[in-house]
Amino acid sequence: MRSYIAALFTGLVAIAGITSCSKDDDRNNDYQPIEGKKGILLVTFGSSYGYYDGEESSPYSYQKPKDTYDNILKEFKKAYPDEDIRMAYTSSIILNKLRKDGKANLDFPNEALKSMAKEGFSEITVQSLHIIPGAEFNEMNALVNEFKAEFPKVKVKIGNPLLSNSTDIQNIANFLIAKYKAALEKNQAVVLMGHGNEKYPQYNAFYEKLQELIAKTKPEYNLYIGTVEGAPTLNDVLAKLKAKSIAENKIILAPLMSIAGDHANNDMASTNPESWKSVLEEAGFKVTPELIGLGAYNEVVKVWITHKSAAL
């Protein structure tokens, strides 16, 4: 009897093992790439601004983040008309809010990638819409690596963030200098707010390199970069401003971010006493915010597009 029970148990274990393996195999093989079917997945943190009618108006120059994302999508579609282009948000808070309210048909990056694999895409370029290769970019890479392990038959490439090398930094420096030339030529000031990384301060080096290149190219221009998290801080920027003679004390304040989302609207331009606008005004400056993200400008989007072309 014992031998029979042992044999039965061994058989059941074997069957269970086969069943388990078959489920794993089904999970990993329930897709068939179609040769030549290529797609692009644009990955960004996301924003709920612009999805709700009548909300998020502004007395300043303003482009709602949704409209900025639409511009980025439009430019990518023009550059890659033969590829299916989609967008994914990494923020669970934002995406869950939009899903709950039925405001957006968007996925998390891992969800979007799996859907594309099931639809037969043989090659997918995951293009970052981040500004620097910081914490969020690293998290995106981790999700991509998990997908690649689960769907090995799909070729996946990753496109770098906006500021990834010296050429990128030079291109964006030239863009910023040209964009704000009129105010800068009058000896007025421009202050740009980057997100920054408090937990990973090494990533802020990209902002510092951009600042150094702007100063080297146009040392007479009062164009300064600060970050919400880490250094350089608003206080660092304020010290530079106070050391200069700013014409009429006028400052243009704008986000160095892909969109003008929560940070730009609240931390930068709001009437909150701790906002950058309020702090600068308290110091005696006349501040004009511009709530327009970098993704609104095709010169900037072109950099992301070139990164898609060079993706590995």
Position 298, amino acid: N
CB 137 within 8 A of CB 51: no
- Per DSSP (E only), the strands in the chain are 34-44, 61-62, 84-89, 121-128, 155-159, 189-196, 222-229, 250-255, 286-291
Write down the catalytic residue from 130, 195, 263, 307: 195
In terms of Cβ atoms closer than 10 Å to its own Cβ (0-12, 13-18, 19+), residue 211 is: buried
Residue 21 tokens, joined: 């393996």
Residues 113, 74: Cα–Cα separation, whole Å? 21
Residues 192, 237: Cα–Cα separation, whole Å? 10
Q: Which residues pair with 225 in a beta bridge?
A: 192
Residue 144 tokens, joined: 């991509």
Three-class SS state of 257: coil
Is 195 a catalytic site residue?
yes
CB 289 within 8 A of CB 268: yes
Tell me 294's DSSP state: G
In terms of Cβ atoms closer than 10 Å to its own Cβ (0-12, 13-18, 19+), residue 101 is: exposed
CB 43 within 8 A of CB 127: yes
CA distances from 118 to 37, 39, 153 (A): 12, 13, 11
Sequence-distant (6+) residues with CB within 8 A of 37 are: 84, 120, 121, 122, 123
Residues 94, 55: Cα–Cα separation, whole Å? 16
List residues with catalytic annotation. Answer: 195
